[in-house]
Amino acid sequence: MPPRTGRAETTAVPCTWTQVSSAVLHRPLGSRCGDPSSVIRSTDKGAGGVRLRAVRADALRPALILLAVFAVVCGGLQLAVGAVAPVPFWIPAAFTAVYAIWTAAGVIAWWRRPMSGTGGLLLAGAVAVFVGGAGNLGLPVLTEISTVFATFILAVTVHLLHAFPSGRLHGAFSVATVATGYGVTLLLQMPLYLLPADQSALLSVATVVQSTVGLGVMVATAVFLIRRLRSADPQNVRVLLPLYLYGILAVVLIPVSANVLTLLGADGVVIGGTQLIVLAGIPIAFLLGVLRGGFAQTAEADALSAWLGNAGSTGASVAQALARSLGDDSLRVAYWSEERGVFLDSAGAEVAEREQAPPRLWQEVRVESRLVGAIGYDGRMLTDPEAVRRAGRVLAIALDRERLTAALVASNEALQLSRLRIVEAADRERGRIARDLHDGLQVQLVLLALEAQQIANSQDAPPSTAAAATALRSRIDAAAADLRRLVHAVLPSALVERGLTAATEDLVDRLDIPATLVSDVDDRALDPATARSAYLIVAEALTNAVKHSGARTVRVSLARSEGVLRVGVSDDGRGGARVENGSGLKGLTDRVDALGGAFELISPAGAGTELRVELPCAS
Amino acid sequence: MRVVIGEDEVLLREGLVHLLENEGIEVVAAVGTAVELELEVARLEPDLVVTDIRMPPTHTDEGLVAALRIRRSHPGVAVMVLSQHVQRRYATELLEPRDGGVGYLLKQRIADVRTFTEDLRRVQAGGTALDPDVVAVLVSRASKTRGPVGDLTPRQLEVLGLMAEGRSNAHIAARLGTSEKAVVQHTSKIYDTFGLPVAADDHRRVLAVIRYLADAGTAAPAGGSQ
On whether both A262 and A321 belong to a single domain, the answer is no
DSSP 8-state assignment for residue A350:
B
Please list every residue in chain A whose beta carbon sits closer than 8 Å to the beta carbon of residue B134.
none
If one compares A583 and A77, the residue with the highest pLDDT of the two is A77
B224 belongs to a structural domain? no
Residue A317's pLDDT band (boundaries 50, 70, 90)?
low
- Domain end call among A491, A515, A531: A491
Residue A28's pLDDT band (boundaries 50, 70, 90)?
very low
On whether both A254 and A153 belong to a single domain, the answer is yes
B222 belongs to a structural domain? no
| Burial class of A482 by CB neighbour count within 10 A (0 to 12, 13 to 18, 19+) | exposed
pLDDT at A464: 93
d(CA B209, CA B192): 12
**Could you write out the DSSP letters of every residue in A149-200?**
TTTHHHHHHHHHHHHTTTTS--SHHHHHHHHHHHHHHHTTTHHHHHS-TT-H
On whether both B117 and B15 belong to a single domain, the answer is yes
A277 belongs to a structural domain? yes
On whether both B83 and B140 belong to a single domain, the answer is no
> Residues A5, A602: contact at Cβ < 8 Å?
yes
Please list every residue in chain A whose beta carbon sits closer than 8 Å to the beta carbon of residue B54.
438, 493, 496-497
On whether both B13 and B116 belong to a single domain, the answer is yes
- Domain end call among B112, B130, B148: B130
A13 belongs to a structural domain? no
On whether both B21 and B101 belong to a single domain, the answer is yes
pLDDT at A380: 73
> Residues B176, B183: contact at Cβ < 8 Å?
yes
Structural domains counted in chain B: 2
**Domain hosting residue B181, numbered range:** 134-217
Q: What is the pLDDT of residues B179-192, one digit of tens each?
A: 999 999 999 888 88
Opening angle at CA A575, ends A572 and A580, nearest 5? 135
pLDDT at A30: 34
Give the pLDDT mean for A90-118: 85
On whether both A484 and A361 belong to a single domain, the answer is no
Q: Give the highest mean pLDDT range of A143-157, A386-400, A473-487.
A: A473-487
To the nearest whole Å, the CA of B170 is away from the closest chain A CA by: 22
pLDDT at B96: 85
Half-sphere exposure of A529 (CA within 13 A, CB side): 18
On whether both B63 and B109 belong to a single domain, the answer is yes
To the nearest whole Å, the CA of A446 is away from the closest chain B CA by: 5
B226 belongs to a structural domain? no
A22 belongs to a structural domain? no
d(CA B207, CA B163): 9
- Domain end call among A231, A265, A293: A293
Pairing of strands A342-344, A515-519: unpaired
Which residues lie across from A600 on neighbouring strands?
A7, A612
Length of chain B: 226
pLDDT at A289: 79
Q: Does residue A4 surpass a pLDDT of 60?
A: no
Interchain proximity A510–B108, CB inside 8 Å = no
Opening angle at CA A99, ends A96 and A100, nearest 5? 85
Q: In chain A, which residue's Cα lies nearest the Cα of B87?
A: A506
On whether both B152 and B45 belong to a single domain, the answer is no
On whether both B15 and B112 belong to a single domain, the answer is yes
Helix, strand, coil percent values for chain A (each to nearest 5): 65, 10, 25
Question: Which of A435, A493, A514 is nearest residue B222 as measured by Cβ atoms?
Answer: A514
If one compares A165 and A243, the residue with the highest pLDDT of the two is A243
Strand, helix or coil for residue B10: helix
Find the range with the poorest average confidence among A314-323, A439-448, B1-10.
A314-323
d(CA A318, CA A402): 11
A7 belongs to a structural domain? no
Q: Measuring CA to CA, which residue among A325, A260, A334, A340 is closest to residue A294?
A: A325
The mean pLDDT of chain A is: 78
Sign of the alpha-carbon torsion through A260, A243, A117, A225: negative
Structural domains counted in chain A: 4
B190 belongs to a structural domain? yes
pLDDT at A308: 47
Please list every residue in chain A whose beta carbon sits closer than 8 Å to the beta carbon of residue B22.
454
Q: What is the pLDDT of residues A330-345, one digit of tens each?
A: 787 777 777 777 787 7
pLDDT at B103: 96
Interchain proximity B60–A498, CB inside 8 Å = yes
Interchain proximity B54–A453, CB inside 8 Å = no
On whether both B119 and B59 belong to a single domain, the answer is yes
What pTM value is reported for the model?
A: 0.57
Strand, helix or coil for residue B99: coil
If one compares A352 and A28, the residue with the highest pLDDT of the two is A352
Looking at residue B98, which CATH number applies to its domain? 3.40.50.2300
Residue B32's pLDDT band (boundaries 50, 70, 90)?
very high
Q: What is the pLDDT of residues B36-74, one digit of tens each?
A: 999 999 999 999 999 999 998 888 899 999 999 999 999
Interchain proximity B61–A497, CB inside 8 Å = yes
Q: What is the pLDDT of residues A356-373, one digit of tens each?
A: 777 788 888 887 777 878
On whether both A515 and A470 belong to a single domain, the answer is no
Amino acid at B145: T
If one compares A436 and A259, the residue with the highest pLDDT of the two is A436
On whether both B113 and B179 belong to a single domain, the answer is no
- Domain end call among B104, B130, B156: B130
- Domain end call among B111, B130, B149: B130
pLDDT at B181: 94
- Domain end call among A366, A400, A434: A400
Give the pLDDT mean for A572-598: 84
On whether both A469 and A535 belong to a single domain, the answer is no
Residue B109's pLDDT band (boundaries 50, 70, 90)?
very high
DSSP 8-state assignment for residue A113:
-
> Residues B115, A517: contact at Cβ < 8 Å?
no
pLDDT at A114: 72
Percent of chain B whose predicted confidence (pLDDT) is above 90 = 66
A514-533 burial, b if ≥16 CB within 10 A, otherwise e? bbebebebebeebeebbbbb
Q: Does residue A53 surpass a pLDDT of 80?
A: no
Other Cβ atoms within 10 Å of B9 Cβ, number: 22
A6 belongs to a structural domain? no
A29 belongs to a structural domain? no
Q: Does residue A297 surpass a pLDDT of 50?
A: no
**Domain hosting residue A426, numbered range:** 418-491
On whether both B107 and B202 belong to a single domain, the answer is no
pLDDT at B107: 94
A227 in B contact zone (CB under 8 Å): no
d(CA A529, CA A495): 11
Residue A10's pLDDT band (boundaries 50, 70, 90)?
very low
Interchain proximity B108–A492, CB inside 8 Å = no
Maximum CA extent, chain B: 56
On whether both B83 and B124 belong to a single domain, the answer is yes
Q: What is the pLDDT of residues A488-510, one digit of tens each?
A: 888 898 998 999 999 999 999 99
